[in-house]
Amino acid sequence: MSFGKLFLQKMSRKSDNNNILDISLAQKVNFDHFQILRAIGKGSFGKVCIVQKRDTEKMYAMKYMNKQQCIERDEVRNVFRELEILQEIEHVFLVNLWYSFQDEEDMFMVVDLLLGGDLRYHLQQNVQFTEETVKLYICEMALALDYLRSQHIIHRDVKPDNILLDEQGHAHLTDFNIATIIRDGERATALAGTKPYMAPEIFHSFLSGGTGYSFEVDWWSLGVMAYELLRGWRPYDIHSNNPVESLVQLFSTVSVQYSSAWSKEMVALLRKLLTVNPEHRFSCLADVQASAYLSGVAWGDVSEKRVEPGFVPNKGRLHCDPTFELEEMILESRPLHKKKKRLAKSKSRDNSKDSSQSILREAIAYVE
């Protein structure tokens, strides 16, 4: 089966929740239904731009990847997995899918547009996150992770880069490119994630085989992220080039240092999220709700976004690297904003070639 037919099958897979993706509508939607406004980033899926749907004038983020590059990078499996997962889920603190389609060159996913930027960007801008701000992020991400668990999904890449803020400052989890689904007591075993945020049991499983890992790994990542937002650096000095063997040893020998400026209740919560043994780690919503630090949280208000965030992104600017737009306009060999003209020329050439071949065949037949 060709790549195109297989991808189309995946996009046409019917969702159990019709509010997430109207398949009958999705099959009719294509690139021409959107106006490209500007490029805003790069991700594991490819590139991201802001678009406006022409009929409704609603704004979205459009993620797209070149199909040939997807094959060359051996990303086909991950793209299909992300698409399958996004078609089945919807939550207030996730970045949700609206449409998916393809053309001759690219695959597209149209998702919620969140204009507040990701937490990595704000860390790089030296934003000083208060304890109250991080407390709300923990609550919002705890609700998101609890929902994902109910759907049997391990995200496996919770980190500041994958937490997007809306214009009011609420947090949303994105990028399911390496997420996985486990059911009925299954355990994951793959070495997947971003090393500084990966839980110890992932490395142990990779080295020794063992029993694998489960939903607890996302809660470890949440603890690492919360620590980093508060302090400006991560609890462990881990980098992508660190050998797995050294990381296993690190977790057994290095103790996390907590700031004396933090409340003892916050420190206690972080200690439970950063517990090396997953059996003793806080790893579900009930665990964090029972903590002294979050015992007074009005969870209904949190889930309805009625709790005001401590940090609200400046609405007068776009919170992303401006070089993304320059790269798309100047360096990209096949820019998205010229796609329609490019495909039209290609189709015209193909039609001309077919016409010439048809005339030649008719001439040969006549001579014969």
- Kindly report the CATH number assigned to the domain that includes residue 214: 1.10.510.10
pLDDT over 90 at 296, yes or no: yes
| 339 annotated to bind ligand | no
The predicted structure's pLDDT at residue 1: 47
> Domain residues for 202?
119-303
Number of domains the chain contains: 2
DSSP result, 203-254: HHHHHH-TT-B-THHHHHHHHHHHHHHHHSS-SS---TTS-HHHHHHHHHHP
Contact 65, 103 (CB under 8 A): no
pLDDT > 90 fraction of the chain, expressed in percent and rounded: 67
Higher pLDDT residue, 319 or 261? 261
Contact 17, 88 (CB under 8 A): yes
Same domain, 63 and 136: no
| pLDDT tens for each residue of 205-236 | 999 887 899 999 999 999 999 999 999 999 99
pLDDT over 50 at 49, yes or no: yes
**Under DSSP, is residue 41 helix (H, G, I), strand (E, B) or coil?**
strand
**Under DSSP, is residue 145 helix (H, G, I), strand (E, B) or coil?**
helix
The single residue of 106, 118, 157, 218 carrying the catalytic annotation is 157
pLDDT over 90 at 201, yes or no: yes
Same domain, 90 and 187: no
Least confident residue range of 34-38, 68-72, 95-99, 346-350 = 346-350
| pLDDT tens for each residue of 115-130 | 999 999 999 999 999 9
Same domain, 71 and 123: no
Type of residue at 295: S
**Cα-Cα-Cα-Cα dihedral sign, residues 154, 158, 164, 169:** positive
* Alpha carbon distance 103, 66 (integer Å): 10
| pLDDT tens for each residue of 314-358 | 987 777 766 655 454 544 556 666 666 656 666 666 665 665 566
Single out the residue of 242, 197, 204, 240 nearest to residue 222, CA to CA.
197
Least confident residue range of 7-16, 109-118, 175-184 = 7-16
Type of residue at 135: K
The predicted structure's pLDDT at residue 343: 60
* Alpha carbon distance 104, 350 (integer Å): 13
pLDDT > 70 fraction of the chain, expressed in percent and rounded: 79
Task: Report the DSSP beta bridge partners of residue 60.
Answer: 51
**Residues 149-180: b if buried by 16+ CB within 10 A, e if exposed:** beeebbbbbbbbbbbbbbeebbbbbbbbbbbb
pLDDT over 50 at 21, yes or no: no
Same domain, 53 and 141: no
Residue 34 covered by a domain: yes
Residue 63 covered by a domain: yes
CB atoms within 10 A of CB 365: 8
Residue 367 covered by a domain: no
pTM: 0.84
DSSP result, 307-357: SPPS----TTS--S-THHHHIIIII-SS-GGGHHHHHHHHHHHHHHHHHHH
| pLDDT tens for each residue of 230-258 | 999 999 999 999 999 999 999 999 999 99
Residue 344 covered by a domain: yes
Type of residue at 128: Q
74-87 mean pLDDT:
91
pLDDT over 50 at 22, yes or no: no
Does 157 participate in catalysis according to the annotation?
yes
For 151, which DSSP code?
Answer: T
The predicted structure's pLDDT at residue 319: 78
Contact 359, 87 (CB under 8 A): no
Give the strand order in the sheet containing 97-102. Answer: 34-43, 46-53, 59-66, 106-111, 97-102
* Alpha carbon distance 100, 110 (integer Å): 6
88-106 mean pLDDT:
95
Same domain, 20 and 65: yes
Query: The domain that contains 47 carries what CATH number?
Result: 3.30.200.20
Residue 361 covered by a domain: no
Structure tokens at 4: 């195109």
The predicted structure's pLDDT at residue 83: 93
Greatest extent of the chain over all pairs of C-alpha atoms, in Å: 94
Same domain, 206 and 62: no
**Mean pLDDT of the chain, nearest integer:** 86
Same domain, 172 and 46: no
The predicted structure's pLDDT at residue 16: 38
What torsion do the CA atoms of 356, 360, 362, 366 make, to the nearest 10 degrees?
A: 150
170-175 mean pLDDT:
97
Same domain, 109 and 216: no
Hey, which bits of the chain come out as E strands?
34-43, 46-53, 59-66, 97-102, 106-111, 153-154, 163-165, 171-173, 180-181
pLDDT band at 25 (very low <50, low <70, confident <90, very high): very low
Higher pLDDT residue, 307 or 40? 307
Same domain, 200 and 296: yes
Same domain, 272 and 135: yes
Same domain, 84 and 145: no
Residue 362 covered by a domain: no
Residue 223 covered by a domain: yes
Same domain, 43 and 88: yes
Least confident residue range of 5-9, 49-53, 63-67, 157-161 = 5-9
